[in-house]
Structure 1
């Protein structure tokens, strides 16, 4: 007894030391305790935690492993050890220890629950079902039975997912721990029978709304919609706490059964209760009208989320025939034009009957009066100021109905424009009005858009007069703005926003001319008549309006949204149209940099007074990226304070393309590390979150959390971050001159197997080891077609400005693609990306963007593998060997045929070419068309971003031939393939030399003084210089150096052998076909040296020009509001703006980038010039 009390006292002292964060004391006490009680597992676990807290991670992990090896039966010990295992990513080690402990104590509820939690954390759905069954058998409870049902449904989800993706045999075997041996249909039947048994045990009741949603989802997925409806209409439906939830669930089931009229009646009831319920309004119209004009609004029913996770279609196949032959909404089931007309008339009458203003507040009662006023009497209602309150839903629904009439061909599109105008008249004072109407405005044809623009212009004129009257009234009183003045201002801003949407949607292509179909203000019309640019005049008017109404927001906190904050982004958008305007007949080409600089100045002025304006900060991030100033862009993006999931939804397409495209390692490095940490931390913690959902009986969340985990695992930005981190690490090591140290520290904090791969490859010397380490971090098994095809795109594209369409290319080429006008006219004419979930929408531009970005990520993923294979070809081996591989986890188990690739050039090259849109048998013709035979043919017609990719393709095509040549040269007599390999190497070496000459000449030409404006070079020129000197030419030089060393080694080896005799043939190097091949490679090295020399000189000269005072003076003369009337109107109203600071920051950033490119090119030139054969 005394010994037990002594032990408890010592444990309390250790816990107190932990609570007080005195780690050293905790370690001292726990070490002493272990010495006295060496078999006390909890004491040993506490000592491991103390070691981890004091920074001795290796010792802590060793101590934890010793405890786990004993498999103690105290569940508290395992909980303590999680503090050691979690930081190291070793929580999976608990599973084996729990299994041993359960074998020792099979009747321990804590250990069985802990084992279930381990399987949950491992996402092993089959094993967690088995553990839940053991729990139910030993400790019967309803919770454990539902755990069994949840586990079965997770297996059904895994099976349905594998079937949807078309997984092959190896992938199916890898998914076996999750999906099990049964198919999805059998699993759903099993889950249904267990759920029905649970309901029967409760005498017809159910655990709660979560369990009911789960049961309904199971039935719905199997097509048993009628059964689900009967169950909902019975006593089980009472599990819904709110009548609205039950109504939405019933309406969804009726819709699935084809009883759309009944569903519409339920939605009508919901709208009458809440007239502003936009979802119910949309679904009411969906049920009443034909499916041809459906809104595809998601049904707000929890069981449908369950069904979607289980792979159910929108309408189950079992009821499809019934739905097609049933009511299908009197109009949608083939009732003819009369039925459609009646349905439209019914919908119109219903919408007209809805109130557009909220009900007045109840009159104060006598009791209220007694406690309300100072005198105890009734207080008169407070008079309203400004516009009366209005309900958005009923007003906007009239626009939606007009749009559906037009889609059905039963009304002219002019009716939609009229409905939009009526909605503006009612809701124009609301902040959300322009965004609400964006989808309708952007779909209007040109004549109706012109009519609407004209009507908005007339209203703007009237509002301008009203604003003058309000300003005069304010000046005559206390100078404070009235609520009516704010309403007038908001209507003006909304009208201007709608005009901008009309202008953007009507633009015929990426480079619209100055006569864009917008209703230009009077000043803009005068500017056009005088030969000026109407877009610049419009921007000046917008900026002046912002300056005039600044007093209306002077009392707002800088974090609050101002009533006119949208005006400056609108002004910037007008200037960006000026930057892309077409060329007038007989006029000189416009200086495209100047409007970008003016747009940046406008947004800088806005950021001075509104430092937390997201539109200004994101717009400046994009503008400075296009201007080639990545550090300035990163500074503005940092003000947005993007963190956590926003690294995926925002940073991945706003900042990362800028940092990658301009070679800004100081920006891209931390961003890539933070992005990888987001995904890898979630993967580490997702199991714990899932276990919380189990413990709280939130059954629908179990499926939701699994879906979210899978979505992040398949995210495009995660695959891209992993690939770019590996490429960045490889670039840093190869740029050292050929003696890399292995994987180093550049690849970021990856998974455990990535670290192991880097450590193994680090033992190898030179560039081959660095490339092998980078390739080992990117398993080829992840490129299996189903998994790669399931990539998710989580970018929030609607945050992009209207002048910045998402680039349909790899992100590191996005800056160049914008300057090249890389998007098609259809894409750029209508800003399709300015809507919710645009990145995964079904429209053609979105699908094209996803395909291009998926291929871009694939090319970057393959790049280290190609380099590793190209460099391994120079090793003294008869055949190029596959890359060394660590013992991989499950994701690398299928690196063979199922993964689709082997780590060899013949296997990798066709896939790389396909990612670039080049057929495997068309590589030679593609290179010849782009570069000609000497670097002077065809390259001018090929965009620079495309030339850069084709240069890498030329390198790896040459590498494949050189690998065969080197292999033949190491064989006695050269083998049968020597002549063919040498011929291919000569031809492909010449193609590589031509590509180097063409791309290098283009990069140098774009840095010449004639291509600059105000001392600045364009962002695409900087991007081309950075990528050429920092990546493409680096790969070329590293390969040429390795091949040169291999040839020299063969020559030395040949020189030691006796001379050839009649019996002994001459060495392979003496074969006549070898000399032309080596000469071709020597020409490629010379071309690389020449291109790099020209690039280095041009970059140095451009940097020197920027260092001159004349460059800063030219830039200031463009931006200074005191010397330019346009700039005075654009930014002269903001006295706090320092254009000197803007100009200096831009010049310094560009000069640093140019100096970096010049230094990198000069270093590579020296290495290329030293290559000898």
Structure 2
């Protein structure tokens, strides 16, 4: 590094300098880079060594497209050593926007070396290390700050740096690591000196103890008077204690704490479900759920959201670790007292809810727990399988069965908007394990709903309430297969066929549903168009029924084909059913334009029909942006790649590029702000989130799609028509180089495949549209082809395979 030069040819009065620089800042803020460059050049003519003016000139050059010249000027100032903090901060902004974190680090390292006791320089150096994910240097810098300030927050910065260094270790390695013992010692000293005074510090200290294998010490800390002061919300404190107790294997203490949470918050479903795990060991919940949060958080497994993680269940293979993550002491063998304990727990929770004023006061959780109890009892009555729904044993009441519990819940809560969604997991489990029982519940719901409607006609019950109960019954019947089912119901057959209804039955059902939908518009008249209404559910079910019938017609088209040709008449019937489904969805969207489920369903129908322009127009209203470019890419790429509109594809690719660029910056900046604001658990979370987005399968796909579109445009687009051959060749060479660079990080079928994170939100897929893991451009073709293919699952596949070109996951 060269010796720092004088920054001016002659001394400049600070106020005069400010007046000269202020116009340059304003021009750069307004994006007038040409004028800013001119002004900086004029100022440098009088003061050629003025670093701040040279830095502003470098910024103007960079923004004007002369990136190399701008970087060269700023690098020269950095090597000289910025002579004042204003120049230092200006260079920091330049390098951050240019995506050059290593230059920021080296600049502040040099500044700190020149002035080792400058707290601002050290703080900025720590932030630079945090942005660069240099965890060792982050820890070292934090300790330098602590020696100068004796500020407890700098100890926590160092502890977070240590935790981040252990991120790739297994649980056993973390427990035995010198680093974690060092962090535990630092936390103990901090607590002894009275430095633990806030929620975030206490949670990170508890996490360090847990990582060291000192779970009982962590629990003691969480149960202490200090925890009451730092975590004033009692329910949160009890939840953290319960999670830690379960991890320590102390079932009774964990259950007592979950009971305490439920006393504070009777509608806390996670607490209720965890209590059932501990009470009825050997059973699992009907609906998968995230593990309860441990104090201070936890690292996502390295294979989370990857293909390998889906196949293997995630984690490092440690059974205890898996049990902890699924909230489960439930991996232990069932015992004979589980049913009695479960009944006692639910009975007490329901009685407490009744005494507190019922569901309208405390929520529906305790009452839904009666359905969960019936589901878990069916598991304990059956074999070792955790999904069986065996009938009650001889002498037991039929009211103990899962179907009876579901019917009771519908009778009591059918008029609640959430009723059908509450029962959806139980409907799916019943349909998977006992088709006859599911059919019986469907018929019983239909008859009781009709009888209820007839009785309600002469009652004083509000019309809207009557209608919601009827809609809930229809939605539950659909979950049980009345509209053909869903691709989610076909796990055993790998989801290849998806929902199906016999010829014309889907249209008959849809006619009835749409008639009721139109009648119901009067009941919901005046509703806010931005909010979904119960009537929309009827239209959505009609769409699903028609799509299910289309599946049957398409399957018949392939089955009846001769000599490799399909049955054209059956294929036409399938197309007609999809067109009618699109018409139903369009009618409903006219009244509820913001209903996302209807809009996505219509978009997918247009995709399957090959209506590219209609799909683009429909999907555009969803206004996917930011993180949705990652989570919903699987719904956008099929129609964009399957169509011939290069502009729409380029638009999508540009937005994905923006997400990849901006999110990378935003995540690191938010992590730095979390340290500054003392939100240490969030600072740790941002590291996991950065990794997940940085290896996104969807964003990698988008990068390739962009260059594929550019390649097509270069070869056959308007720009290529009539152009000179050498010009086309130069453009083509540039595109191919970009395509090769984009393909480098792509996963392959080999060892690199698990490195991609699949962040696509499959909950957004309509019932008739299974996820597709192959080329997006072939998704619609595979949907049609797979209707007539009895494909065998690919070895290890865990999500449905949707066609011949789909590799599955």
> Which TM-score bucket, shorter chain as reference?
0.7 to 0.9
2:757 to 775, 789, 792: 792
| Alpha-carbon separation, structure 2, partners of 1:534 and 1:684 | 53
Q: Name 2:246's counterpart in structure 1.
A: 255
* Contact map agreement 2:649 2:709 (CA 8 A) in 1: no
Give the secondary structure class of the aligned counterpart of 2:381. Answer: coil
1:385-404 maps to which residues of 2 (within 5 A)? 391-404=363-376
Q: Mark the CA change 1:467 to 1:541 in structure 2 (over 3 Å): closer, same or farther.
A: farther
- Using the alignment, how far apart are the partners of 1:243 and 1:303 within structure 2? 14
Distance (Å, rounded) in 1 between the aligned partners of 2:590 and 2:541: 17
What is the SS of the residue equivalent to 1:408?
A: helix
Contact 2:782 2:805 in 1 (8 A): yes
1:625 to 607, 618, 632: 607
User: What secondary structure sits across from 2:48 in the alignment?
Assistant: coil
User: What residue number does 2:341 align with?
Assistant: 343
Map of 1:71 onto structure 2: 81
SS of the aligned residue for 1:809 comes to coil
Contact kept in structure 2, 1:441 and 1:498, CA below 8 Å:
yes
Native 8 Å contact 1:254 1:260 kept in 2: yes
1:711 Cα deviation after fit = 0.5
> Is this contact kept in 1: 2:180–2:212, CA < 8 A?
yes
C-alpha separation in 2, matches of 1:566 and 1:72 = 64
- Match of residue 630, structure 2, among 611, 625, 648: 648
Paired with 2:17 and 2:667, the residues of 1 have a C-alpha distance of 36
Q: How far is 1:41 from its partner?
A: 2.2
- Cα RMSD over matched residues? 4.2
Contact 1:30/1:47 (CA < 8 Å) preserved in 2?
A: yes
- Taking the TM superposition and a 5 Å limit, the aligned residue runs for 1:993-1004 are none
1:639 aligns with 2:614: no
Is structure 2 residue 677 aligned with structure 1 residue 686?
no
Task: Rate the CA distance shift 1:191–1:254 in 2: closer, same or farther, 3 A.
Answer: same
SS of 2:522 mapped into structure 1: helix
Larger CA deviation: 211-220 vs 492-501: 211-220
- Structure 1 residues 1026-1078: Cα deviation after superposition (integer angstroms, max 9, x where no partner): xxxxxxxxxxxxxxxxxxxxxxxxxxxxxxxxxxxxxxxxxxxxxxxxxxxxx
1:124-159 CA-to-partner distances (Å, cap 9, x unmatched) read 112222322333334443222221111111111145
Distance 1:300 1:309 in 2: 15
Q: Is the 8 A contact 1:631 1:667 kept in 2?
A: no
Distance 1:428 1:781 in 2: 48
Partner residue, 1:192 = 184
1:800 to partner: Cα distance: 1.4
- Structure-1 residue corresponding to 2:3: none
Query: 1:919-958 counterparts in 2 under 5 A?
Result: 945=805
> Which stretch has the larger CA shift, 277-286 or 70-79?
70-79
1:284 aligns with 2:283: no
Taking structure 1 as reference, are residues 797 and 160 closer, same or farther at Cα in structure 2, changes over 3 Å only? Answer: same
Residue of structure 1 equivalent to 2:236: 245
- Offset of residue 675 of structure 1: 1.4
Structure 2 stretches of 5 or more lacking a match? 1-10, 305-312, 383-389, 393-397, 561-566
Q: CA deviation at 1:730?
A: 3.3
Which residue number corresponds to residue 980 of structure 1?
none
1:1141 matched residue in structure 2: none
Name which of 96, 111, 118 aligns with 1:108.
118
Secondary structure of the corresponding residue to residue 527 of structure 2: coil
Change in 2 beyond 3 A, CA 1:248/1:691: same
- 2:261 maps to 270
**Aligned counterpart in structure 1 of residue 436 of structure 2, from 423, 441, 447:** 447
For the 8 Å contact 2:517–2:539, the answer to whether it is kept is yes
Q: 1:294 to 1:221 in 2, by over 3 A?
A: farther
Q: Which moved more, 1:187-196 or 1:458-467?
A: 458-467
Moved more, 792-801 or 781-790: 781-790
Quote how far apart the aligned CAs of 1:426 are.
1.4
1-side partners of 2:56 and 2:415: how far apart? 63
From 36, 55, 60, give the equivalent of 1:45.
55
Give per-residue Cα distances to partners, 1:995-1015, cap 9 Å, x unaligned.
Answer: xxxxxxxxxxxxxxxxxxxxx
Deviations 1:86-112 (A, max 9, x none): 443334422222223233222322222
Report the equivalent of 2:471: 493
Structure 1: gaps spanning 5 or more residues: 165-181, 361-386, 471-481, 517-531, 745-760, 828-843, 854-942, 950-1173
> Following the alignment from structure 1 to structure 2, what is the Cα–Cα distance between the partners of residues 61 and 539?
64
Structure 1 residues 807-863: Cα deviation after superposition (integer angstroms, max 9, x where no partner): 243322211111012698799xxxxxxxxxxxxxxxx9997266979xxxxxxxxxx
Q: Give the corresponding residue for 2:203.
A: 213
In structure 1, C-alpha distance between the alignment counterparts of 2:414 and 2:338, rounded to whole Å: 32
Separation (CA, whole Å) in 2 of partners of 1:159 and 1:273: 37
Question: Secondary structure of the equivalent of 1:549?
Answer: helix
Higher normalized contact order (CA 8 Å, seq sep 6+, divided by chain length): 2
1:694–1:160 Cα change, 3 Å = farther
1:44 match: secondary structure: helix
**For the residues of structure 2 that align with 1:409 and 1:128, how far apart are their CA atoms?**
55
- The counterpart of 1:563, out of the listed 525, 534, 540, is 534
Counterparts of 2:212 and 2:515, CA distance in 1: 62
Alpha-carbon displacement from aligned partner over 1:426-451 (angstroms, at most 9, x marks no partner): 11112221111111001111111111
Q: Distance in 1 between matches of 2:378 and 2:451?
A: 30
The match for 2:594 is 612
Is the Cα contact below 8 Å between 2:513 and 2:538 reproduced in 1? yes
- Which secondary structure does the structure 2 equivalent of 1:628 belong to? coil
Aligned residue in 2 for 1:813: 778
Whether 2:224 is the aligned partner of 1:231: answer no
Check conservation: 1:160, 1:310, Cα contact below 8 A: no
In the alignment, the residues of structure 2 paired with residue 563 and residue 846 of structure 1 have an alpha-carbon distance, to the nearest angstrom, of 42
Provide the rounded CA distance (Å) in 1 between the counterparts of 2:464 and 2:226. 52
Q: CA deviation at 1:771?
A: 3.9
Q: Secondary structure at the match of 2:797?
A: helix
The residue correspondences of 1:208-607 to structure 2 (distance < 5 A) are: 208-238=198-228, 239-293=230-284, 297-303=289-295, 305-306=297-298, 336-337=335-336, 339-355=337-353, 359=357, 391-409=363-381, 412=391, 415-444=401-430, 445-466=434-455, 469=458, 484-503=462-481, 504=485, 533-581=504-552, 583=556, 589=570, 591-607=573-589
Residue pair 1:449, 1:502 contacting (<8 A) in 2 also: yes
For residue 317 of structure 1, report the CA deviation from its aligned partner.
11
Once residues 542 and 796 of structure 2 are traced to their aligned partners in structure 1, the CA distance between those partners, rounded to angstroms, is 31
The whole-number CA distance in structure 1 between the counterparts of 2:26 and 2:331 is 71
In structure 2, C-alpha distance between the alignment counterparts of 1:741 and 1:150, rounded to whole Å: 61
Residue 299 of structure 1: how far off its partner (Å): 4.7
Q: Which region of structure 1 is more displaced relative to structure 2, 136-145 or 114-123?
A: 136-145
Deviations 1:42-64 (A, max 9, x none): 33334444556677666544443
Q: TM (normalized to structure 2)?
A: 0.82
Select which of 156, 161, 167 maps to 1:157.
Answer: 167
SS of aligned partner of 1:592? helix
| Cα distance change, pair 793–16 in 1 and its aligned pair in 2 (3 A) | closer
Matches for 1:979-1128 after TM superposition, within 5 Å: none
Q: CA deviation at 1:78?
A: 2.8
Is 2:132 aligned against 1:122?
yes
User: Greater CA deviation, 52-61 or 430-439?
Assistant: 52-61
Paired positions, count: 746
770 and 332 in structure 1: CA distance in 2 versus 1, 3 angstrom threshold? closer
2:184–2:209 Cα contact (<8 Å) kept = yes
Distance in 2 (CA, whole Å) between partners of 1:20 and 1:772 is 35
- 2:797 aligned partner: 848
- The question of whether the paired residues in 2 share the 8 Å contact of 1:741 and 1:765 is answered with no
Which stretch of the first structure deviates more once superposed, 279-288 or 109-118?
109-118
Q: Matched residues in 2 for 1:251 and 1:667: separation? A: 51
Distance 2:535 2:469 in 1: 10
Contact 1:213/1:306 (8 A) holds in 2:
no
Name the CA shift for 1:245/1:352 in 2 (closer, same or farther; >3 Å).
closer
TM-score normalised by L of structure 1: 0.58
How far is the alpha carbon of 1:236 from its aligned partner?
3.6
Residue of structure 2 equivalent to 1:1106 = none
Distance 2:474 2:647 in 1: 40
Deviation at 1:462, TM superposition (A): 2.1
C-alpha contact (below 8 Å) 2:279/2:341 kept by paired residues: yes
